[in-house]
Amino acid sequence: MTLTGSGSAHDPPAGAAPRRPAAPSPAAEHGPPRRLDRRVALVTGASSGIGAATARRFAMDGWQLLLNGRDRHRLEQTASGTSAVVLPADLAAPDGPRLLAQSALHTTGRVDVLVAGAGIGWAGPFAAMPHTDIDRVLALDLNATLHLVREVLPSMIAAGRGRVVLLGSIAGRVGVREEAVYSAAKAALAAFAEALRQELRGTGVGVTFVVACPVDTAFSARRGRPYDRPHSRKISPGCVAGAVWEAVREDRDQVYVPAWLALPDRLRTLAPRVFGHLLNRFG
C-alpha cells in the first residue's frame, strides 16, 4: 500500500527517499511584512483538491492568500490569477510548522484564518500497515496540524481575532474499516478542536471543525487503492470549499458536508445498537 497527500508532491519512485523541500526562509524570500487592509488566510494542502478549491473560494472574496504545499509548481497554478503568495514547505519535517508560521507572519504581519488542509491517507488492513506508514499518517494528519496551530495561535490571540479551520472526515466520527489510523487521526483532531474551542472562549479566536464525506480528488485514488465503497458517493472539492467559506463567514463551530452527514453522528449517541448494525453492514 502507498501513502498519498492532500496538496503533496508527486510520489517518489519506489525505494527512493522522499523529497524534503526546504522550509521557507522568512527574511530571505519575502522582505519586510506587507501592510495589508485585506484579510489574510493561510491554507495548507493548497496545491490540489480541497485546499486548492478553498484557496480559490477565498480569493473570489478578495482575501490575501498564503498557500502551502510541497510542490511549488502546483501551488503557483493554484495562485494563478490572484495575489496569493506561495510558501512551499514539508509540514512533516521537524521544523516545518514553525518555519511556515514564521514565514507567513513575516510575509503579511498576521494570519486571520488558518485552514489546515494538508493530510495523507492509507487504505488496507491495519495488521498489514507498515510501522513507518503509521508514523507518517500521524505525523502529518495530526502532529503537524497541532504544531502549526500552536505556532499561529499566539498572534491571533494577541490581535483578539482569528479562526482556525480544521478539516476532519466522517472517518473520524464513525470509524472506517481498513482506514484505522486515518480514522484515529481525524478523531483526535475532532477532540482537539472541541477542547481548543473551549479554551479560546472570550479571546475572539474561533475554531471550526469540518466533517466531510469522501471527496472526489486524487487523495483517495493514491492512498493505496481507489475509493470503492458503493454506498457512498463522493462530493466535489468545491462543495467542501464553499462550506469552509460559509463557516468562516458565519463563525460556525462545526459543519458537515453534506449536511445530512450529521445523522450518523447523532445516531451513534441516540441509538448505538442501530448505529453499530449499520456500521457493520456499510463499514
Which are the catalytic amino acids? 182
Q: Are 185 and 138 in contact (CB under 8 A)?
A: yes
- Cα–Cα distance for residue pair 180/125, rounded to 1 Å: 8
Q: Give the bridge partners for 84, in sequence order.
A: none
C-alpha cell at 109: 504581519
What SS3 string covers the chain?
Answer: CCCEEECCCCCCCCCCCCCCCCCCCHHHHHCCCCCCCCCEEEEECCCCHHHHHHHHHHHHCCCEEEEECCCHHHHHHHHCCCCCEECCCCCCCCCHHHHHHHHHHHHHCCCCEEEECCEEECCCCHHHCCHHHHHHHHHHHHHHHHHHHHHHHHHHHHHCCEEEEEECCCHHHHCCCCCHHHHHHHHHHHHHHHHHHHHCCCCCEEEEEEEECCECCHHHHCCCCCCCCCCCCCECHHHHHHHHHHHHHHCCCEEEECHHHHHHHHHHHHCHHHHHHHHHHHC
